């Protein structure tokens, strides 16, 4: 079957680009002697993750549903990298009792106490990392915060929990405006984690795991001394945000949304397609006024950008395609019933709107479909 015959909108994944993106990141971290712990939150698909993993290699997840799903498919070493909510501890204990090596995350004594209560109740020991704040954007303790050692001591003292180390995520890298800024963020990310690990060790506490990572900082990390593992997820697919940051080329983006042309507004130079925010997500990425790519960049069926066209606006099931900057567009070049592929601003958000990948490899021939999960 060819892409032209697929009902639209649907999510297209180029397997060749995927494999090359996976290989590039694996090689980069192998060269630095650091373990990669791929993040399953972008792909949420065992078919994708299998291509990124060596036997026994662990992964990162963003929900316990991902943990259930990947564990059911044979991946046993799982790191749930969102601060644990006490209401999820029964679920986490169930995974551990069934054989998962599931590590959890926290940044407070309250969470340590809640985990201890549930660990004892279920006769399991929760392995725990302490979250460190390296970018000031959301969770975590500063590496200099005295509460870091307090939390570590609580984990060491309490039953049902086990201190395993520290974790940080420099999500602030996505706000960087240059590769130099990403390099600086990468150094800051490493520094925060290593400083926190040293503070725990200085207090006589164990800290075997020093986990850092985001796809941008993993790409440009110059120094990983003292780091034991790097997490990254978007690198498998890449997207326009990553291209805008200089992390990848547009040609390396493996994900796109196939859409059909359903109409025109000739006086406005608009082409209307059947992919709106429901298929593309509402994520506008960096929305850089210097290089606005709206809700996605328009490509032909071969996956190559055509004529600087973007999705300028979206409603639930409609996208309006126009030339960037409002320049004229000849809608006749996009007849009703024709198809386009739209590169996503944010691969995680766009993929989350779909339940499967239509797999191609460098052409419009469909090789099959791969499932993915969503939800909690």
Binding positions for a second copy, rule: CB under 8 A: 4-10, 41, 62-64, 82-88, 91, 107-108, 110-111, 114, 131, 133, 137-140, 171, 260-265, 270, 272, 274, 277-279, 281-284, 313, 315-318, 320, 335-337, 339, 348-349, 352-355, 374-376
**Shortest distance in whole angstroms from residue 4 CB to a second copy:** 8
Extract the tokens encoding 295.
Answer: 């809700």
Residues 6+ apart with CB under 8 A from 352: 44, 281, 374
Q: Which is nearer to a second copy, 14 or 133 (CB)?
A: 133
**Shortest distance in whole angstroms from residue 186 CB to a second copy:** 18
**Shortest distance in whole angstroms from residue 369 CB to a second copy:** 13
Q: How far apart are CA 154 and CA 163, in angstroms?
A: 9
Q: Which is nearer to a second copy, 110 or 180 (CB)?
A: 110
Q: Which is nearer to a second copy, 228 or 283 (CB)?
A: 283
Q: Which is nearer to a second copy, 17 or 284 (CB)?
A: 284
Q: How far apart are CA 153 and CA 133, in angstroms?
A: 19
On the 0-12 / 13-18 / 19+ scale of CB atoms within 10 A, 46 is buried
Asked if residues 105 and 82 have their Cβ atoms less than 8 Å apart, the reply is: yes
Q: How far apart are CA 128 and CA 118, in angstroms?
A: 13
**Shortest distance in whole angstroms from residue 366 CB to a second copy:** 13
**Shortest distance in whole angstroms from residue 278 CB to a second copy:** 6
Q: Which is nearer to a second copy, 145 or 198 (CB)?
A: 145
Q: How far apart are CA 22 and CA 17, in angstroms?
A: 9
**Shortest distance in whole angstroms from residue 376 CB to a second copy:** 6
Half-sphere CA count of 168, side-chain side, radius 13 A: 29
Q: How far apart are CA 162 and CA 12, in angstroms?
A: 42
Q: Which is nearer to a second copy, 5 or 222 (CB)?
A: 5
């Amino acid at each position: 079957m060819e892409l032209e015959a697929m009902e639209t909108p649907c999510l297209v994944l180029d397997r060749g680009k995927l494999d090359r993106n996976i290989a590039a990141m694996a090689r980069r971290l192998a060269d630095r002697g650091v373990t990669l712990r791929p993040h399953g939150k972008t792909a949420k698909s065992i078919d994708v993750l299998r291509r990124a993993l060596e036997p026994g290699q662990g992964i990162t997840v963003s929900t316990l549903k991902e943990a259930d799903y990947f564990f059911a498919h044979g991946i046993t070493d799982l790191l749930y990298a969102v601060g644990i909510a006490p209401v999820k501890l029964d679920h986490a204990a169930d995974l551990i009792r069934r054989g998962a090596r599931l590590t959890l995350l926290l940044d407070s004594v309250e969470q340590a106490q809640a985990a201890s209560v549930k660990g004892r109740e279920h006769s399991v020991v929760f392995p725990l990392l302490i979250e460190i704040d390296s970018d000031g954007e959301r969770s975590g303790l500063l590496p200099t915060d005295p509460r870091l050692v307090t939390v570590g001591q609580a984990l060491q003292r309490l039953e049902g929990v086990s201190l395993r180390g520290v974790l940080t995520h420099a999500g602030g890298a996505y706000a960087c405006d240059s590769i130099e800024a990403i390099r600086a963020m990468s150094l800051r990310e490493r520094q925060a984690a290593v400083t926190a690990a040293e503070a725990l060790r200085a207090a006589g506490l164990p800290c075997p795991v020093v986990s850092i990572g985001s796809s941008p900082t993993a790409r440009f990390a110059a120094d990983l001394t003292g780091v034991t593992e790097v997490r990254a997820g978007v690198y498998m697919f890449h997207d326009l945000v990553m291209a805008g940051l200089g992390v990848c080329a547009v040609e390396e983006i493996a994900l796109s949304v196939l859409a059909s042309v359903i109409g025109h507004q000739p006086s406005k130079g608009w082409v209307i397609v059947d992919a709106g925010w429901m298929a593309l997500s509402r994520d506008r990425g960096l929305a850089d006024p210097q290089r606005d790519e709206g809700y996605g960049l328009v490509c032909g069926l071969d996956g190559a950008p055509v004529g600087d066209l973007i999705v300028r606006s979206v409603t639930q099931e409609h996208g309006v395609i126009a030339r960037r900057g409002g320049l004229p567009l000849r809608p006749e070049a996009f007849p009703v019933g024709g198809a386009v592929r739209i590169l996503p601003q944010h691969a995680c958000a766009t993929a989350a709107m779909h339940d499967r990948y239509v797999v191609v490899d460098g052409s419009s021939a469909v090789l099959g479909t791969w499932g993915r999960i969503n939800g909690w």
